[in-house]
Each structure stands twice: as C-alpha cells, then as structure tokens.
Amino acid sequence: MNTNPTIDGQRLLQRIAEFAAIGATPAGGVNRQALSLEDRMARRRLAELAVARGFCVYQDAIANLFIRRDGRAPSLSPVLIGSHLDSQPTGGRFDGALGTLSAFEVLESLEDAGAVTERPVEVACWTNEEGSRFFPGCMGSMAFVGAGDISGWQETDGADGTKLADELQATLTALPEVEMRPVGHSVAAFIELHIEQGPVLERANVPIGIVTAVQGTKWLQVSLTGEAAHAGTTPPAYRRDPLAAAVEAIASLQQAVMPADPSARLTVGRMIVEPGSINVVPERVTLTLDLRHPEKEVLAAIEARAGTECRAAARRHRVEVSIEKRFDMAPGKFDASVVEAIANACGRLDIPTMKMVSGAFHDALFLSRVAPAAMIFVPCRDGISHNEAEFVSPQNIEIGARVLYETVRELAG
Ligand code: HGY
Ligand code: MN
Ligand code: MN
C-alpha cells in the first residue's frame, strides 16, 4: 500500500478513544443511547471540534447534526459522509463512532492539506440509528429522505420509560448555538464507513469491504395478554398463560425459519413478562422479533409465518395477541458509480478489497433512496459487534479512513 499521507491516523485514534470515554461502560464498551445525556455530550464535543476548525455546524428538527466544509462552488450539492454516534445499551466503541469520526478526520485532513474541493463536503451524524431505546432505527436518515414522520414519533415511549419528544427537545436545545436547517437537502453522493459487524472480512483477511447492498429488516412487537392467576391453585385448564404461548411460538419459529434458510435471521432480543412475580401466572408478555433477509418476498413470508405461529399459540392458550410492525426496511442495492469510486480509491492506494452485502442495516440504505450511496466496511475482531468487546485494529482504522478520504477526493472533485 503506498503511503501518501492523507489522513492523520494518530489524531483519529485519539478521537475514537476520546469519544469511547463518553458513555463508557466498565466492560470497555459504550452505553450512549439515542438522545440520551451521553449522546448529547458526544454531539456537543463533535460540534466544538468542528467550530474550532472553522467548519459550519447545523442540525435539523430530528437532531441530525451536520458539519460542512465549503468547496469552490458552494451552490453545488455536497458530498455527504458520516454515520451515527448513538450506541446499543451494551454497545462497542466503534459501531457508528468509527464512521462519524473518520468522516470528521477527512474534513480535518482536507483542511490541513488546504485542499480545495469542487463540491462542499459535509459530515452527517444521523439521529437514532440503533432504534434500541426508541423504535424504529434510522430515525434521522429516514426523516432526511422523507420516509419518516417526525411528528408521528413524538409520543414514542422509550425502553426506559421516557418520551421521545422530551429527549429530542433536550437534545436540540443542548446545542443552542447550532443553526437549525430544514430536514433534508440535496446530496451529490453519500459514503458511510462502518465496521462490518460480522466475520467475513477477517476470515478472508481482506482489509476493505465494498458494500453493494443491504438486506431487509422488519421489527415486530408482539403483545400476548392472558390472565394473572395463582401459581399454586390454578390447574392447566383454567390458565390463560401468555408466556406459555410465547415460548411455544418462539420455539416453532426457531425450528422453522433459520434451519430452513441460511440467509434468514430471526432474533427475539427483548421479552417483558408482567407482573413478573414468581408465584403469579403472567398476565402479559411483550416480545420483539427482528427479522432479516436479502430478498423482499422471502422476508415478507417470514413475517407472515411469525404472525401465524404467534396467533396459533395464542389460540391454544386462549390469550389475546396483537402484533405491531415497528420497523420495515426493504433490502436495497447501492449505486454502482459510488461502488466504483470506492474501488478506484482502493486501487490508487493499492488496498485489497472484496464486494459484499451488509447483514446489518445502515443509514446509507435510506440515503440511497435520494442520492447515489455506498459503504466501506473494515473488519472487526471475531466479527463481534453489538457487544462491549467490539474491536477494530488501529491499522484497519487507518486504512478505512484513507479509503474514505480518497473516495471523497474523487467524488468532491
Ligand atoms: O441492527 C442493525 O442492523 C444496526 O446495526 N443497528
Ligand atoms: Mn451502526
Ligand atoms: Mn449498531
């Protein structure tokens, strides 16, 4: 790999360490959930760094944060780069932060080099990519492309009992000096650098993945309501036990879906049992289903199967069932011209690459609805992510940021 000094790897590693301290968990990960105090602290730190470099900072009504470096022709739509800063409750230090901070490093390196780009270059920090605290995920990028309803989300209850409206307001007002802009603007291209969050690149020993597509995702929230009863005195025939129904439905789906199709993914990530007393037959169970598949029709069939199994189990146990769809992200392909620009950049840097499909959803998939978009993946150790042990080597961090920089230079002119 030739070493034309484009980005400052040491500075980037320091930034990543600095942001990993915001919401740091004892196990070495981060808990910086969307619109939380920690999220606000990270956004403020990024805004301060941006202002210190003379970049323009602005945000929109869903608290997407933008950092702009003007080009020769300010009226041209910008090349947008970036990712997210919010994390899972037990997240890693790199999911989202790597892409956001690498994008900022690209802006700083352009500034350090006194580079004059034809187009403006903007860093985007998308609100609530994870969706774990407030469903759905990708709220910021969905709103930006006109696929989300900010007013419809205001009453959303957080997993921690908070209301989205309050947390969003607190986040917007935490950066009073930042100019507000309308939601959504024209974008020449969007590139997102992100960790792969799976084992493919590491296993292939390839430093860069060029992402050509993202599989589809559906989130269902299933509520089963029976009748609280005494654990000791209530015989089976008198029970209307939602947990008995839930475990039967989950067992059926675990046996039917993934074993039949290696591309299918089905996850029950959260289950709440109420009242949750050892000697009370539960009254209500709420569980989440995260369904994924690269093909839209197959994903729809898995969703239908999930409904069938939940309703059949509910009937057997004489409990009510309601199924709410909380997120529906169709699979999508990225733009060939941006994929090619990333491949060209890797060619100039003499970096080996492989094309791949993302198993995780990303903001870039929504951006691809309004602008040519694609993603750059770097390997993460053992493919572990959404886990505090998430790790990316300093070398792979630098390679990823170099490729992002080279790609931006080509697309921004
Ligand atoms: O769940 C996802 O795919 C993303 O990493 N939040
Ligand atoms: Mn992410
Ligand atoms: Mn994530």
Give the DSSP H/E element, type plus range, for residue 371: none
Q: How many CA atoms lie within 13 A of 249 on its CB side?
A: 35
Where do the structural domains in the chain lie, given as residue ranges?
9-215+331-411, 216-329
> Ligand 3 centroid to 354 CA: how many Å?
22
pTM over 0.75: yes
Given this model, what pLDDT does residue 5 score? Answer: 53
Answer whether residue 126 shows pLDDT above 50. yes
> Ligand 3 centroid to 94 CA: how many Å?
9
* Neighbouring residues of 324: CB distance < 8 A, sequence distance ≥ 6: 220, 221, 222, 223
Is 9-215+331-411 in CATH node 3.40.630.10? yes
Q: Looking at the CA of residue 132, tell me the nearest atom of ligand 1.
A: 6
Given this model, what pLDDT does residue 96 score? Answer: 98
> Ligand 3 centroid to 130 CA: how many Å?
5
Phi/psi at 351 (5° precision)? -110, 130
pLDDT tens column, 39-55: 999 999 999 999 999 99
Q: What class is the 216-329 domain?
A: alpha beta
* Neighbouring residues of 387: CB distance < 8 A, sequence distance ≥ 6: 29, 90, 92
Q: What angle do CA 235, 241, 245 make, to 5 degrees?
A: 125
Evaluate whether 91 touches 31 at the Cβ level (below 8 Å): yes
Question: For residue 30, which amino acid is it?
Answer: V
Q: Looking at the CA of residue 292, tell me the nearest atom of ligand 1.
A: 3
Ligand 1 contacts (CB < 6 A) are 129-130, 137, 360-361
User: What's the rounded mean pLDDT across residues 219-247?
Assistant: 98
> Ligand 3 centroid to 115 CA: how many Å?
33
Given this model, what pLDDT does residue 6 score? Answer: 83
Instruction: With cut-offs at 50, 70 and 90, classify the pLDDT of residue 4.
Output: low
Do 9-215+331-411 and 216-329 share a fold? no
Answer whether residue 1 shows pLDDT above 90. no
Task: Look over the chain and give the mean of its residue pLDDT values, rounded to a whole number.
Answer: 97
pLDDT tens column, 166-205: 999 999 999 999 999 999 999 999 999 999 999 999 999 9
pLDDT tens column, 354-365: 999 999 999 999
What is the percent of the chain with per-residue pLDDT over 70, rounded to a whole number? 99
Q: Looking at the CA of residue 362, tell me the nearest atom of ligand 1.
A: 4
Closest-CA residue, ligand 1 atom 3, reads 360
Pocket test for ligand 1, best of 30, 85, 128, 129 (most atoms within 8 A of CB): 129
Alpha-carbon distance of 95 to 361, in angstroms, equals 12
Q: Looking at the CA of residue 359, tell me the nearest atom of ligand 1.
A: 3
> Ligand 2 centroid to 130 CA: how many Å?
7
Residues, CB within 5 angstroms of ligand 2 (ion):
95-96
Answer whether residue 409 shows pLDDT above 90. yes
- DSSP letters for 173-204: HT-TTSEE--S----SEEEEEEE--SSHHHHH
> Ligand 3 centroid to 146 CA: how many Å?
22
Answer whether residue 293 shows pLDDT above 80. yes
* Neighbouring residues of 176: CB distance < 8 A, sequence distance ≥ 6: none
